[in-house]
Amino acid sequence: MPEHGRLGIRQLTILTIMTIVGDMMMIYPSVIANYSGQNAWLNAFIGIPLGMGLMFLYVKLADTYPGENLFGILRNILGYWPGTFVALFYLMYFIFGSSTQARVVGDFMTSEIFLLTPIRVVLLIFFIVIGWGIYNGLETIGRSGEILLPIVTVFMFILVICLLPQTDHKQLLPFTDTTTKQITEGLLVSFIYPVGEAIPILMLIPYVNQEAHRTRDLVIGAGFGNFLMAVLVTTSMLVMGLFLTQHNIFGSFVLSQKINIANFFQRIEVLMASSWLISTYFKSTIYLYAFIIGTAELFGFKTSRFLVLPSVLIAFALSNIVSPTITFIVTLVIPYWLDWDITMCLIFPVMLLIIHLIKNKVRFKKNTV
C-alpha cells in the first residue's frame, strides 16, 4: 500500500460527510431546482434513503475484496487489463473532479469577495493548501476533518435558524406542478450528485484501522450529509422561491446575505461562505488524493509522495482551463457531469457487483461438480 497514514472509522465517516457536502453546499439548491422544478425540496428528502442505499452498495463493493482499494477491486473482478482500462477512466474522473471543484471556488471568490484578485492567485493558494495536506498524509487529513466538521455543521444550522422568520410555506406550493421527467431527473440528482460523488472513499477504505460498525457509520454519514443538503434546498425554496433558487448559482451565499436580526446580527455571509470553502477543500483534497494513490497503484510505486507536486500542478493547470466562467459550468458542464456521475458512480459499481456475483456462482458450481 503506497500510504503511510491510517484512519479511524470516525475519521472516514467525517471525510465521507465532507465529500458529500463539498461544493454541493453552494450549488446544489440551484442544480436540483433546475431539474426538479417546484418539488425540488421533496425530491431532496426522498434522495436521503436513496443516497444511503448507494453508500451501502459502495461498502458491499469494498467487501468483495477486503484490503483492496477501488483499483484493486477493478483488477480482481474484471481482470488485470480490463480493470486497468476502467481504472484509467476513474483517474480522469478524479483529477477533473478535483480541478473543477477548485475552479468553482475560484469563480466564487473572484466574483463575490475578491473582485479584483486574479483567479489564478486564488487557485494557486487553494492548491498549495491541498498539496500540503496530502503531503502530510491521510491521517493528517482525517484529524483536520474532525476539527473542522463541527464548524461546517454549526454554520449550516445558524443559516437555517436565522432565516426561519423569513420563510413562507406557500413557496413550496403547488405540489403537483412537476412532470414525470422532472421527478425522475430530480431523484437522480438528489442522490447521485451528493452521495455518488463520494466514490473516492473507496480508495480510502483499505487504510481504516478498525472494521467494526463500518457499514453502519458510513451509511449514517451519507444520510446525514444528504440531510444537510435537503434542509438547505428546503430553506432556499421557503425563503427565495423556485425562480430565485433556480437562478442563483451560489444559493447559500445569497441566503446568508438575507440574514438580519434586529439590524444587529447581519452581514455574516463571508463567515457562512467559509463553511462551504472548508467542505469543498476536503472534497477536492480527497479527489486529488484518490488520483495520486490510484496512479501509484496502477504503476506499482511503493510510495506516492513524489507524485504530490506533479499532481497538484496538473490539477492547478486543469482548473485554469476546464472552464472560462462559472456560467459555462452551470449551463454546459453540469448537465453532462450528471451523465458522467451516473456512469462512474452508479452503473460501474452495480456492474462490478453483478459480475462478482456471477463469477462466484460459476466458481461454486465448478467446485460442486
Average pLDDT over residues 158-165: 89
Give how far Cα 339 sits from Cα of 89, 192, 222, Å.
14, 10, 21
pLDDT at position 1 is 43
Q: What's the mean pLDDT in 116-134? A: 93
Q: What is the pLDDT of residue 227?
A: 95
What pLDDT is stored for residue 74 in this prediction? 94
Measured between alpha carbons, how far is 129 from 112 in angstroms, rounded to an integer?
21
Contact call for residues 33 and 245 (beta carbons, < 8 A): yes
> Quick one: how many helices (H) and strands (E) in the chain?
15, 2
Domain 9-363, CATH number (from 3.20.190.10, 1.10.1060.10, 3.40.640.10, 1.10.4160.10)? 1.10.4160.10
Residues 236-284: tens digit of each pLDDT? 999 998 888 888 888 888 888 888 887 777 777 887 788 889 999 999 9
User: 47, 19, 65, 55: which is closest to 215 by C-alpha?
Assistant: 55
Alpha carbon dihedral 310, 315, 317, 323, in 10-degree steps, equals 170
Choose the weakest-confidence range: 6-10, 196-200, 338-342: 6-10
Residue 5 near residue 269, CB atoms below 8 Å: no
Q: Where are the chain's structural domains?
A: 9-363
- Residues 290-310 have pLDDT tens digits of 999 999 989 888 888 899 999
Q: Pick the residue with more confidence: 35 or 211?
A: 35
pLDDT at 4: 53
Mutual angle of helices 9-21 and 24-36, in 10-degree steps:
50
Higher-pLDDT residue of 203, 179: 203
Average pLDDT, the chain: 89
pLDDT class for 2, splitting at 50, 70, 90? low
Label residue 76 by pLDDT band (50, 70, 90): very high
